[in-house]
Amino acid sequence: MIIIGIILLLIAGGLFWGRMSTLKKLGDITITETSQIGTLVNTSKAVAEEIGSGSFAEYAEIKGVAKTEQPLTAQFSGRECVYFRSQVIREWEEEEIERDSETGEERRHWERRSEVMSDNVSDPDFWIEDETGKINVHPKGAKIESIQVLDDFEQQDSGKISIDGGKLSWGNFSFSIGDSFSGRNILGYRFKEWIIPIDQRMYALGEASDSGGTLSLQKPKEKKTFLISTRSEEELTQAAEKSTALFTYGSIGCAVVGLILILVGIIR
């Protein structure tokens, strides 16, 4: 009982940390006012003329549409975009044996499990453009919230996938999956994909800086939120407020139950 109580206290600590992290994100979003891109560009030029290029840095929130001169082609869906992430997940069943601590009787059952076999991210620089101008976005290190365009599960024997010599093929996509599992019943493979389409309405929060020679929105030097999202500011705020409430109630609940179990265990 004491051990369970300690575990619940550790979970409460994790939930409290999640609450603080979400509150910080919410604060950065709500406190930072939206900047017009044209204003950021003009200010950076003025600073460069005054004290030299590479001196401008401002934490900024921008809204606009995603643009690029070199569109990407998403790995699975084939859609044009400025960013994509493609995953292949293997799903299988594995026999588990549980022994009854009182009778010693063994019980066998099948557990469904999964693992990510391939996780390919393509995140080159792109532009965000509003009615006043455009700014380069350097997404490395950002929390990227994109649009899921694919979640397709193919059974091992569906005929749509083939496995030959440790290589899996699905349409035009193929990659090595290594040796087959022994003692496991492979159910199939799940293909997932997320993209940021060209001309997608975007919200971005980061540091506008010309330190690289070109004004870009990039990861802040200070510990502030770096976020690139296809959701609106209103949607992000509502989601953060809901998450904060859930983290709060969860951490309090786990802490209270954990302390009760520890006290009961000590008394006994």
Entry pTM: 0.83
Q: How far, in Å, CA of 201 to CA of 149, rounded?
A: 16
Most confident option among 169-178, 229-238, 254-263? 229-238
Both structure tokens of 56? 């401008």
Looking at the chain, the whole-number percentage of residues with pLDDT higher than 90 is: 47
Angle between helices 233-267 and 2-31 (to 10 degrees): 160
pLDDT reported for residue 101: 65
- Beta carbons within 8 Å of 268's beta carbon, 6+ residues apart: 1
pLDDT reported for residue 186: 83
CA dihedral (5, 6, 9, 15) in degrees, to 10, reads -110
pLDDT reported for residue 161: 82
Domain boundaries, the chain: 37-231
pLDDT reported for residue 228: 97
Q: Say how many residues make up the chain.
A: 268
Asked if the model's pLDDT at residue 79 lies above 60, the reply is yes
Q: How far, in Å, CA of 30 to CA of 61, rounded?
A: 10
Mean pLDDT of 25-34: 89
Q: How far, in Å, CA of 115 to CA of 94, rounded?
A: 13
Confidence band for 106, pLDDT divided at 50, 70 and 90: confident
CA-closest candidate to residue 228, choices 148, 145, 172, 160: 145
Check if the beta carbon of residue 236 is closer than 8 Å to that of residue 225.
Answer: no
The least confident of 140-144, 178-182, 185-189, 247-251 is: 178-182
Q: How far, in Å, CA of 136 to CA of 231, rounded?
A: 19
Check if the beta carbon of residue 74 is closer than 8 Å to that of residue 149.
Answer: yes
Q: How far, in Å, CA of 116 to CA of 111, rounded?
A: 17
pLDDT reported for residue 266: 78
Check if the beta carbon of residue 115 is closer than 8 Å to that of residue 90.
Answer: yes
